[in-house]
Structure 1
Amino acid sequence: MNLTAVNQTDDCQEYSCPERSVSFSVYVILYMSSAAVALLTVCGNLLVIISVSHFKQLHTPANILILSLAASDLLVGVFVMPLHLSWLVESCWISGPVMCSVYNFVTFQATTVSVHTVALIAVDRFLALRSPFVYSEKISPTVICIATLFDWLFSILYNFTLLLINGNFTFICPGECVYIVDGVSFFIDLLVVFLMPCTLIIILYTHVFVIVRKHVTAIRALQVHKSKESSKSRVSDKSERKAAILLGILVFVFLLCLLPYYICSLAIPYDNADFFYVRDVAAIFFFLNSTINPIIYALFYPWFQKSLKLIFTFKVFNEDSSLMNVQ
């Protein structure tokens, strides 16, 4: 997570791992709980990735963005969560300096892609509701694929540069995995990863729900028209509004999980002895968002429910199963 950067350049003091302060049974329970959360995150996001990738009916711009978000969430479940939760259970970084550098980079990458993808989802829904005809003509799955690919490549270059400039590929405190960023880099990172995308998300979704409300009012006023053409229009409009509301839930939960970490990072002085512990506990809420997202899809998205049924009954292995109706 980029905002964990320490705005100082002093070498860290000698540090040794503390002795285990909990009983062996509690220790085992903590590790089992951590493994269960990581496994749930991996399996849930794998199912999302399989569903959107396999069924051609789901190859829509909005679902491609969900696919990108699921890929970054999968990265969190496979790599970030196990190391982070182990770090908290042990109260010590036990994976060595190389894994520390890799952990920092992958965490930065997953964080940046997640925030930017949610911002792209807000842009997508705004355009779909604000200018539906232009959206259907200009915004194709190919366009969204190019946008998400650019975002991933930009995030890789940006985070690699951030770490390289600040010399953090070789820095590690004994027993800790911390990194140092100078004041300019910290400010740029705050803008790129948090302030700018989150401001865009809030502004666009405010506009989205204003548009949805106007559509509801307009549709009620036109209910006297019963022609087939207008009926199709209402169905399409209803579908767009439902997609906006469901993705709004996704965005709201995302911001709810994101805020504790960034509030902690900005509110607690870095020289406070409890800063790193409080920050790392707050980071759990952000990582848990990667676990929650597939649960939201399972609860609110009929296409995901139908996809799960086809996957678990092994019908996805049937010939032409990619052409099945899952909407």
Structure 2
Amino acid sequence: IFLGSLSVVTVCGNLLVITSIIYFKQLHTPTNSLVLSLAMADLLVGVLVFPFSMAFSLSLCLYQENIFCKIRDSFDITLCTSSIMHLCCISIDRYYAVCQPLTYTTKINHNAAVVMILVSWTASVTIGNCFTFVKLEKHSVNVVANTMSFVFAFYLPVIIMLCIYLKIFFVAQRQARSIQNTKSGATVSKMESKATKTLAIVMGVFLMCWFPFFFCVTILTLIVSVPIPVLETLNWFVLSNSTLNPFIYAFFYSWFRSAFRLIISGKIFQGDFSISKL
């Protein structure tokens, strides 16, 4: 019941994000194109990965490797990797917006967003299929291939995101201090505190959901034997990130909250609100 409810929340939350971005013209920006594609990946996690993971658990598929387990693994790895790739692209977009605002509109346009989306999905499908369907005869080669998949699917994007968000944080702090002559110290302190809190929530929730699982399957398993129920629980933590993403990347902004209110109240069915100012 709990996991089924989590699936419903994941689907509804990401549907709200998708509907908002498609319907309201104000939200038709390159940044929101990335958010839209991320929401699509997270929606598919709720629709496909959650039910398959409930029906064909990690422990079950460990002992009988049938076609449904392969489909489950393929959806799981592909869509979760896609979610990570999109989060990485969003961090790049935020870097240019904060650190290079004068060149932001020329470097991050709709074409650039489309390229990032295509790269994210292509890399995700490639990693998912390689990890799931390619069976190599030599066990040592197989271990190397699996390790490389984890590096490109998780560790490399995480390192990129950490570096980018640290850079954004330091630049935001410098910008806040540079306007001390026009604003009070209390206001500057509040701005720095908000920047710190935002970046801490973004990276904190992401690492809380993802790091324990990847740490166990890549590093801890080399030292001790990790019980399957533990890995299964940590895998559900990974999937729960798709539930939380709409709250982190959409509910954070006032225009999305306004859009959600118009959709949930049904007002968009009573007239044309697509060009309304959110």
TM-score for the superposition, normalised by structure 1: 0.72
Match runs of 1:4-153 below 5 Å: 32-87=1-56, 92=60, 97-153=66-122
Distance in 2 between the 1:95 and 1:323 partners? 54
What is the aligned-residue RMSD (CA, Å)? 3.0
Q: Deviations over 1:45-93 (max 9, x none)?
A: 11111111211111222222222221111111111112223445x9635
1:147 Cα deviation (Å)?
1.3
Max radius of gyration: which structure? 1
Q: Would you say 1:193 and 2:153 are equivalent positions?
A: yes
Q: Please name the residue that 1:22 is paired with.
A: none
Q: Deviations over 1:245-302 (max 9, x none)?
A: 6466333311221111112213443796653321111111111111122233565321
Q: Deviations over 1:90-131 (max 9, x none)?
A: 963599822211111111111211111111111111111111
Q: Please name the residue that 1:310 is paired with.
A: 262
Q: Is the CA contact 2:150–2:214 (under 8 Å) kept in the aligned structure 1?
A: no
Q: Please name the residue that 1:13 is paired with.
A: none
Q: Please name the residue that 2:214 is paired with.
A: 262
Q: Please name the residue that 2:277 is paired with.
A: 325
Question: Structure 1 stretch 94-103 or stretch 143-152: which is displaced more?
Answer: 94-103
User: In structure 2, the residue corresponding to 1:133 is in which secondary structure?
Assistant: coil
Distance in 1 between the 2:101 and 2:171 partners? 12
The one-letter code matched in structure 2 to 1:70 is: A
Structure 2: gaps of 5 or more residues = 185-190
Question: Structure 1 stretch 152-161 or stretch 124-133: which is displaced more?
Answer: 152-161
TM-score for the superposition, normalised by structure 2: 0.84
Which structure features the higher share of helix residues? 2
Q: Please name the residue that 2:125 is paired with.
A: 156
Distance in 1 between the 2:85 and 2:111 partners? 18
Number of equivalenced pairs: 268
Q: Is the CA contact 1:59–1:141 (under 8 Å) kept in the aligned structure 2?
A: no
Q: Is the CA contact 1:125–1:244 (under 8 Å) kept in the aligned structure 2?
A: no
Match runs of 1:216-235 below 5 Å: 216-223=176-183
Distance in 2 between the 1:63 and 1:155 partners? 20
Distance in 2 between the 1:277 and 1:137 partners? 49
Distance in 1 between the 2:213 and 2:256 partners? 30
Q: Is the CA contact 1:47–1:308 (under 8 Å) kept in the aligned structure 2?
A: yes
The one-letter code matched in structure 1 to 2:211 is: L
1:167 Cα deviation (Å)?
6.2
User: In structure 2, the residue corresponding to 1:321 is in which secondary structure?
Assistant: coil
Structure 1 pair 98/244, CA: closer, same or farther in 2 (3 Å)? farther
Give the share of equivalent positions with the same residue, in percent: 31
Structure 1: gaps of 5 or more residues = 1-31, 169-179, 225-237
User: In structure 1, the residue corresponding to 2:221 is in which secondary structure?
Assistant: coil
Structure 1 pair 271/131, CA: closer, same or farther in 2 (3 Å)? closer
